[in-house]
Amino acid sequence: MTVDLTTRLVSADPAGIAAAVQCLARGGLVAFPTETVYGLGADATDGAAVARLYAAKGRPRFNPLIAHVPDLAAAGKLGIFNSDADRLAQAFWPGPLTLVVPRPPDCPVCDLATAGLDTIALRVPDHPVARRILRDFGRPVVAPSANRSGHVSPTQAAHVMADLRGRIEMIVDGGPTAVGVESTIVACIDEATLLRPGGLPRAAIEEALRHPLARAARPAESADEAPLAPGMLASHYAPRARLRLRVKDAEPGEAVLAFGPDLPPAMRHAKVLLNLSPAGDLVEAAANLFSHLRALDRAGVASIAVMPVPPEGLGEAINDRLQRAAAPR
């Protein structure tokens, strides 16, 4: 793996976007903003580019990638949509939803990108910069979160720089991302099944489907079997510090990740304290989650005490990421 590339940081203006598109066309690796987190893009049809992407992230090759396209018409050329997939795509694309569907025999996405599976993950992101790049490039772009494998996902260009400087060609800086957690992943193969909670709440999906989502056959995070969403390993999204979840007190020297207006006295006076949302708003909390984890980690503390976050709405995805960040590794 080349680790001494010059990583160009460009702004998300027409010149920066044109440079990004040219770079992708040459087989380069380009990080760009989506509404969820920054993605690390490569030409999905170019096996060599996709191989470089796995190497740059240090990502296991059994963990397939999401192909990003500008609209449903483009997605329809890469996957086979049943009625549930069609309904969800109509309702929520562009948006923070990834659909896993059967892959047709003539799918142009390279086998390495789908890790040899007969299904493919597809997403139409809702971010003007991502959409401009996808439209202008004209081919599908695989884009995992633009972090080193196992690290916290990036919600700012500076996070990408910290993780991938020297390993990728370019970062398009579009400011902080709005949603802050990755897309919700739903498999539409037979019964619609939730593979990963994310930026689109479960309730919205079930309302559009008019029936509940099936549960994944085995816990997606079981690391010893091939998981359903193969990337959902238990220890993921990990900061260096140890996390203690759902606690109402802080130990001496511990940093605090708070939620809501009412902080227990033991926490209020912690030296290092960040609040996901002082107002108790889950949308704001999701947007702040990964940058707060990175900031607390930078403070060099050994342990982070995390207050309880309610499980409804985006709270399902927030609690999922916190549990993974807290998992033993």
- Is residue 84 exposed (0-12), middle (13-18) or buried (19+ Cβ within 10 Å)? buried
Closest residue to ligand TXA, judged by C-beta, is: 231
Phi, psi angle pair for 122, to nearest 5°: -125, 145
Of 244, 254, 258, 251, nearest to 300 (Cα)? 254
Write down the least CB distance from residue 151 to Mg ion, Å. Answer: 9
Q: Which is nearer to ligand TXA, 130 or 267 (CB)?
A: 130
Q: Which is nearer to ligand TXA, 188 or 241 (CB)?
A: 188
Q: Which is nearer to ligand TXA, 143 or 305 (CB)?
A: 143
Selected binder of Mg ion within 34, 36, 98, 145 (CB under 5 A): 145
Element (DSSP H or E) covering residue 24: helix 14-25
Of 121, 97, 81, nearest to 34 (Cα)? 97
Write down the least CB distance from residue 144 to Mg ion, Å. Answer: 5
Residue 112 interacting entry, from Mg ion, ligand TXA, none, C-beta within 5 to 8 Å by type: none
Report the C-alpha gap between 128 and 16 in whole angstroms.
Answer: 13
Phi, psi angle pair for 99, to nearest 5°: -110, 130
Residue 36 interacting entry, from Mg ion, ligand TXA, none, C-beta within 5 to 8 Å by type: ligand TXA
Write down the least CB distance from residue 185 to Mg ion, Å. Answer: 11
Of 157, 172, 179, 146, nearest to 288 (Cα)? 179
Q: Which is nearer to Mg ion, 145 or 275 (CB)?
A: 145
Residue 305 interacting entry, from ligand TXA, Mg ion, none, C-beta within 5 to 8 Å by type: none
Q: How many CB atoms lie within 10 A of CB 224?
A: 7
Q: Which is nearer to ligand TXA, 64 or 254 (CB)?
A: 64
Instruction: List interacting residues with ligand TXA (CB under 6 A).
Output: 34, 36-37, 39, 63-66, 98, 100, 114, 117, 119-121, 123, 125, 143-145, 182-183, 185, 195, 229-232
Residue 42 interacting entry, from Mg ion, ligand TXA, none, C-beta within 5 to 8 Å by type: none
Sign of the CA dihedral with 314 first, then 240, 324, and 116 last: positive
Write down the least CB distance from residue 322 to ligand TXA, Å. Answer: 16
